[in-house]
Structure 1
């Protein structure tokens, strides 16, 4: 069973860009209501996809430089990475089915 992890500027390259598996990066903040709604959905997706992909969260308040680098204008924003490249972006709360489908396309 896979779980949702956290990453930051220091670990982003190893956790995301150099990860052999597809990675969903959730850009969020503690004060963001929709982000809190999305959290349990991502936990469910992580347990259902298992070890086939990784899901990590980036707190935009603590990692503003990453948010700026990836053009985050609103949160939650999910960016899907494969082989170090951003392949798809979803903004706002999404259904579990949409998130799973987007990850499975990369697996």
Structure 2
């Protein structure tokens, strides 16, 4: 992960870091072998920096943390899910443009 503003979410910390967060959370479900995941990674980093303090941004490696993607029905990656107050507000699948990520975030702010 290139940006220090992007959190590493795991099966073990997801409840505390995401579901109990007092600000909206953008979660990127990804894997090291996924080319579209690599394509949107710089966008995720950029969003994390721009929305620092207003939105928590993090990633879940689906290979290392299989339980969490299963709970959220993640079948394809990258999947980006926006949560607020522990509830899913919206999600998108695939390599999407930054403008679409920002539109997603605006739903929570």
Do the structures match in fold with TM over 0.5? yes
**Unpaired stretches in structure 1, ≥5 consecutive residues:** none
- The 8 Å contact of residues 25 and 80 in structure 1, kept in 2 or not, is answered as yes
2:76 is the alignment partner of 1:69: no
Note the C-alpha offset of 1:95. Answer: 1.0
- Cα distance in 2 for partners of 1:91, 1:72 equals 9
- Report the counterpart of residue 57 of structure 1 in structure 2: 59
Deviations 1:50-77 (A, max 9, x none): 2100111000001111111111110000
- Cα distance in 2 for partners of 1:7, 1:85 equals 16
**Unpaired stretches in structure 2, ≥5 consecutive residues:** none
SS in 2 for 1:50: coil
- Report the counterpart of residue 7 of structure 2 in structure 1: 5
Higher fraction of helix: 1
Moved over 4 A (4+): none
TM-score, normalized by length of structure 1?
0.95
